[in-house]
Structure 1
């Protein structure tokens, strides 16, 4: 009897092993059949079953990994993240062909579960179709109404610089970290347009938001976000930094909702003060319309888009600017000499000065190029089949535009990996903007805040250069490597700012 039970146990054990083996073979076979590269699809590295190319890419240096893979597989190649096929575009020519020449076919955004769980497809940036068109058009016209591109906004930026400069001057040339104050100053410009008021640098809640944004953008560019977007059902149940990301932005949504409530208490439809007031007007005027996209929930999410996008990228670019000026004092001196010659010290800069300041304009553009703030822009998705780089890209494929490949394309720039303002100057010393300079992306999805960012960068940078000289603390060399995230920021640093 004992031998019978022993035999039975052994049989059952082998049967379980056989079942497990069968299941593994079945899952791997099904994954292979389901996720085979389509005919005429771009080539790419071999994908691990289930996970795809999740670990092919270095998630701390994603755009560099994608450029390296492009050297092996071509300017148009494919990757698989989990169950999602992606086509990566490397080089300016590939980006131009996709985003501009065939831009109508890649205008839409793909489903990104991390962003979808936050925005529910009701914002501007991660939306498609009628909502995206209506809200983008409304945002552009409203921001223009409140001063975007006008002299009235110039005075807002210069006034904010004055507040910021006062704080920086108080350090009397001693080392300090400019990060949070600079973030607050830049944020106040979009806050004035959206909320109708600025926030004091001592406002603890606002400073906390600035700190949280910094953390959230690091998480959004990490492997945790990629896992969430590839396996959302699993990741929603697993602990990790991805939940912190959602918590941060849910807190921000509450902050914005409170601002909206305060606006409603003093709202006068005949005298709109800012973007929120104008949106409240649209809510009233569009009630009952079948294609209405103006609702209070959408207002909060659109403000969140404008608030974050209008704060982070410009302030990060300026932090890079401080570092580059400290690293290259001879370039800093030439910028200051041009400012002294064109503007002097008796007045603040204006946008009208830019045409007479080609070297300063070239330095700002080179800071943007080398800073490479948003190297992968945001993903697109094909709305129909198209041919790209000799390959057939089916409908529903995610497109990753590697903007860094254009900004460092050796076919477009003389010294792509060296800080060289000459990239934007002709032989006569006049400013020339190259087509491959696309830090704001290109096509119909070009950055909504490009004009605001360009104005802020010129005015803030020239005001700082007019008023201060930048240097590193004694014995400290500037660290020019970036900190990974959805935006590439410099590592935390301290700098000395001496009043001129």
Structure 2
């Protein structure tokens, strides 16, 4: 009887709180409310939410359990909230992870969070500035050599991309590309994301009260997170034992030294510590492997459906990257079709179709509607990227739209404002290098049975926009090998 009684009490308290909230909001001009309670259980959720704009407009409210959340479905509303009024909407709601105060992606906005973000960004952009591009190039070349050795046999390209992106993050973060470590981290990331995307966890966003009941899925997620933390702690100990002041070989070394430097003359309560470095490493692996691998996989899938674009890309690469040429990211605008193709893939299949929820840090407004403090805001990135008011034939894969003069609208595919993805520069570098080298070395062909991959995301994808599994043949084009030391695109 104790458990049912406790559940009833929680329901009564939640109901009372909801009624009081509705009473206090009665005088405000709020966004229109979509009828119903189970919106977040719909398949292909971003597209479903975009469909509601036909009746409700680009900004509206939907019920998430007993709480109303505001959904933004256009570039205009997203930019107003996250760029023009970024301070008002830089917060995060309470999540499941117990390390919220240390987490960059899920942590709430604060001075400590800003210092944490600055340290991590500096580690990527300053600490690894000179080594990032050569590393991505080297590992991509090794990847192409492995694919060439398979002699055009069908491969699970998403798994191969996942191992490649995991290797890149491993080298940048831990200075190590040992296959055993890469496989261990790959398995860890795959397991954690799988558990997080399971319905038993996703349902907690809709009915938060269920987190107080026994939940095997939640227990499994916490166990996997503990395994993840042990793996990261082992690497942190190894780095601390070999740390040399003023020197760093990877992101972890840089951040550990950054934590040490800021200790003098500061209140201990405002200091970053090793726990922040730990969670930055977690964010880099969780946010920097499967996301980029998925985008690369979507690009291959679209090009299998559009061999004419693949042919044009290869002609562009052959013209600009003849034998002896070196591929440099600074020369990327000399490959306009490749850059347009990457932009189109990111538009149609953004890394995170529904951005992680934001929280209003104070009362504000969006498009003339009142947004009370602590309101949860969900930017529908994929919906904004398919806005018919901005894009001609928005659902069509058409890279040439980005080649038209003056027709290059921005897309918030990596988020924007204070919460923009810190790994965006690395992800864009990887997309450019991997696709250029892949298309230069191989023709992308369907498997022998001719089956083309589905271009529809898995209906319940969770955080990331998951592509259905498919196989592809990488047929070597037998072009002359590239000498990496001769010259750049600009000669």
Give 1:41's aligned residue.
30
Residues 448-467 of structure 1 mapped to structure 2, 5 A cutoff: 448-467=422-441
Q: Is the contact between residue 167 and residue 182 of structure 2 (CA under 8 Å) also seen in structure 1? A: no
Q: Take 1:31 and 1:392, find their aligned partners in 2: how far apart are those partners?
A: 20
SS across alignment from 1:447: coil
Give 1:379's aligned residue.
357
Give 1:97's aligned residue.
80
In the TM superposition, what is the alpha-carbon distance from 1:26 to its structure 2 partner?
7.4
Q: 1:443 aligns with which of 394, 400, 417?
A: 417
Q: 1:316 aligns with which of 294, 304, 307?
A: 294
Q: 1:416 aligns with which of 394, 402, 416?
A: 394
Q: 1:481 aligns with which of 447, 456, 460?
A: 456
Q: Which runs of 5+ in 2 are unaligned?
A: 1-7, 478-491
Q: Is the contact between residue 269 and residue 277 of structure 1 (CA under 8 Å) also seen in structure 2? A: no
Q: Is the contact between residue 345 and residue 466 of structure 1 (CA under 8 Å) also seen in structure 2? A: no
Between 1:184-193 and 1:329-338, the stretch displaced more is 184-193
Q: Is the contact between residue 144 and residue 437 of structure 2 (CA under 8 Å) also seen in structure 1? A: no
Residues 273-422 of structure 1 mapped to structure 2, 5 A cutoff: 273-287=249-263, 289-290=266-267, 291-422=269-400
Q: 1:145 aligns with which of 126, 147, 172?
A: 126
Q: Relative to structure 1, is the Cα distance of residues 26 and 333 closer, same or farther in structure 2, using a 3 angstrom cutoff?
A: closer
In the TM superposition, what is the alpha-carbon distance from 1:316 to its structure 2 partner?
1.1
SS across alignment from 1:176: strand
Q: Is the contact between residue 161 and residue 185 of structure 1 (CA under 8 Å) also seen in structure 2? A: yes
Give 2:227's aligned residue.
251
SS across alignment from 2:52: helix
Q: Is the contact between residue 119 and residue 258 of structure 2 (CA under 8 Å) also seen in structure 1? A: no
Q: Is the contact between residue 385 and residue 395 of structure 1 (CA under 8 Å) also seen in structure 2? A: yes
Q: Is the contact between residue 107 and residue 381 of structure 1 (CA under 8 Å) also seen in structure 2? A: yes
Q: Is the contact between residue 298 and residue 467 of structure 2 (CA under 8 Å) also seen in structure 1? A: yes
In the TM superposition, what is the alpha-carbon distance from 1:281 to its structure 2 partner?
2.0
**TM-score calculated relative to the size of structure 1:** 0.86
Between 1:211-220 and 1:341-350, the stretch displaced more is 211-220
Q: Relative to structure 1, is the Cα distance of residues 300 and 233 closer, same or farther in structure 2, using a 3 angstrom cutoff?
A: farther
Q: Take 2:452 and 2:246, find their aligned partners in 1: how far apart are those partners?
A: 56
Q: Take 1:218 and 1:110, find their aligned partners in 2: how far apart are those partners?
A: 22
1:67-111, Cα deviation, whole Å (9 max, x unpaired)? 122222221111221233211111111112211222221011111
Q: Take 1:353 and 1:168, find their aligned partners in 2: how far apart are those partners?
A: 26
Q: Which runs of 5+ in 1 are unaligned?
A: 1-21, 48-52
Give 2:471's aligned residue.
494
Matched, 1:159 2:138: yes
In the TM superposition, what is the alpha-carbon distance from 1:445 to its structure 2 partner?
1.2
Q: Is the contact between residue 453 and residue 468 of structure 2 (CA under 8 Å) also seen in structure 1? A: no
Give 2:61's aligned residue.
78
Q: Is the contact between residue 218 and residue 485 of structure 1 (CA under 8 Å) also seen in structure 2? A: no
Q: Relative to structure 1, is the Cα distance of residues 376 and 209 closer, same or farther in structure 2, using a 3 angstrom cutoff?
A: same
Aligned residues: 462
Give 2:218's aligned residue.
242
Give 1:264's aligned residue.
240
Q: Take 2:9 and 2:277, find their aligned partners in 1: how far apart are those partners?
A: 48
Q: Take 1:26 and 1:256, find their aligned partners in 2: how far apart are those partners?
A: 42
Q: Take 2:348 and 2:380, find their aligned partners in 1: how far apart are those partners?
A: 14
Q: Relative to structure 1, is the Cα distance of residues 26 and 324 closer, same or farther in structure 2, using a 3 angstrom cutoff?
A: closer
SS across alignment from 2:117: helix
Matched, 1:126 2:109: no
In the TM superposition, what is the alpha-carbon distance from 1:263 to its structure 2 partner?
1.1
Matched, 1:175 2:150: no
In the TM superposition, what is the alpha-carbon distance from 1:184 to its structure 2 partner?
1.9
Q: Take 1:61 and 1:463, find their aligned partners in 2: how far apart are those partners?
A: 32
In the TM superposition, what is the alpha-carbon distance from 1:342 to its structure 2 partner?
0.8
Give 1:228's aligned residue.
204
Q: Take 1:308 and 1:29, find their aligned partners in 2: how far apart are those partners?
A: 36
Give 1:190's aligned residue.
169
Q: Is the contact between residue 163 and residue 186 of structure 2 (CA under 8 Å) also seen in structure 1? A: yes
In the TM superposition, what is the alpha-carbon distance from 1:270 to its structure 2 partner?
2.9
